Amino acid sequence: MNIRLEQPEDYREVENLTRESFWNVYRPGCTEHYVLNQYRSNPDFIPELDLVMEEDGRIIGHIMFSRAELVLDDGTKVPSWTFGPISIHPEYKRKGYGLKLLNYALDKARELGIGFLCMEGKIDFYRHAGFDLASKLKIHYHAEPRDAEVPYFLAQELIPGWLKSKGITEATYSPPKGYFVADENPEAFEAYEATFHEKVKALLPGQLPQFCQSCGMPLTKNEDCGTNADGSTNFDYCQYCFKDGKFLQDYTMDEMIEHCAQFINEVNKQIPKPMTRDEYVQMMRGFFPMLKRWR
Ligand SMILES: CC(C)(COP(=O)(O)OP(=O)(O)OC[C@H]1O[C@@H](n2cnc3c(N)ncnc32)[C@H](O)[C@@H]1OP(=O)(O)O)[C@@H](O)C(=O)NCCC(=O)NCCS
């Protein structure tokens, strides 16, 4: 096993590895390979920590790091760091390679003066490399309530005392903008994705919760999903919003919220604490602007 810097001639192989590794793991399909493709030219990308792992004469692992920011309560921004995607080829998963690659990369990062990392991921894997809940260090996640213990938001001081040395007692983190490139440029992403061999997308148990990106309905099985013009499943939208490549209602966001509000009794059957119609509308007003159709 060998770990080395990624070279330009590796790019396609590594993006394909990333796609194979992430495919259908967190959502139907994946976008992480496109993030990597775009990030290499991003000023936040750290080429010295763009590492590949080789075994049996092929690349089986990859990790990249990025500059990021912590924002203090008074608005001051403090340079910080994050990492990901990290990928191990499906044939080599759960054999210790991921942890070896991560620990090697963390040592390199420390040598470069990187004192603190936070990121989103599964604690069951990352705790083996010294990560813990970021909330324990009073680092908050931008998209969650400030006092929440966010189980997927993790952090580690690579250099002990780094936060204190920067005068940080509490701060908030948002992932760098570059990580959202596939959401921001869906057409460019689709064109890039079409250059890879075809793989079947599927809604699978264990993925992150998926919601219709028009009405917010949970998508839990393939039959809940809409259809594209060619008859294939559309995993972004539900069958009530999107059929044969078209939206079924020509609504504005506010009209969609009013439309959904009539189903409050159905919604209340599925949640532990029932809401009034007004509470449901308020909830949708907070949530809908983040959905793909309305943002
Ligand atoms: C996550 C990933 C990088 C881990 O690499 P790996 O080589 O499979 O993991 P390792 O064998 O080094 O795991 C070490 C330990 O971490 C834990 N672990 C690893 N992956 C885990 C997972 N998906 N869920 C829960 N625990 C996990 C286990 O305790 C494991 O030890 P065990 O196999 O003896 O139980 C790899 O599985 C992968 O590429 N997954 C798909 C892409 C991905 O999810 N990347 C991370 C995004 S946050």
What is the full DSSP assignment across 154-184?
EEEESSTTHHHHTT-SSEEE---GGGGHHHH
Residue 191 inside a domain? The answer is: no
Helix (H, G, I), strand (E, B) or coil at 7: coil
Domain of residue 79 covers 2-181
- Please name the residue that has the structure tokens 């490139």: 181
N- to C-terminal Cα separation, the chain: 45
Helix (H, G, I), strand (E, B) or coil at 145: coil
pLDDT of 167 strictly over 90: yes
Residue 268 inside a domain? The answer is: yes
Q: What is the CATH number of the domain that holds 12?
A: 3.40.630.30
Per-residue pLDDT of 229-270, as tens digits, reads: 999 999 999 999 999 999 999 999 999 999 999 999 999 998
Output the CA 237–ligand 1 centroid distance in Å: 30
Per-residue pLDDT of 109-152, as tens digits, reads: 999 999 999 999 999 999 999 999 999 999 999 988 888 889 99
Per-residue pLDDT of 28-71, as tens digits, reads: 999 999 999 999 999 999 999 999 999 999 999 999 999 999 99
Residue 15 inside a domain? The answer is: yes
Which atom of ligand 1 is nearest the CA belonging to 88? Answer: 39
Tokens found for residue 83: 């990492």
Residue 269 inside a domain? The answer is: yes
Instruction: Verify that 226 and 171 share a domain, yes or no.
Output: no
Structural domains counted in the chain = 2
Residue 85 inside a domain? The answer is: yes
Residue 98 inside a domain? The answer is: yes
The residue whose CA has the least distance to atom 22 of ligand 1 is 125
The residue whose CA has the least distance to atom 20 of ligand 1 is 125
pLDDT of 200 strictly over 90: yes
Instruction: Verify that 221 and 79 share a domain, yes or no.
Output: no
Instruction: Verify that 116 and 174 share a domain, yes or no.
Output: yes
Helix (H, G, I), strand (E, B) or coil at 31: coil
Which atom of ligand 1 is nearest the CA belonging to 87? Answer: 39
Instruction: Verify that 117 and 261 share a domain, yes or no.
Output: no
The residue whose CA has the least distance to atom 33 of ligand 1 is 94
- Please name the residue that has the structure tokens 């992932």: 175
Residue 196 inside a domain? The answer is: no
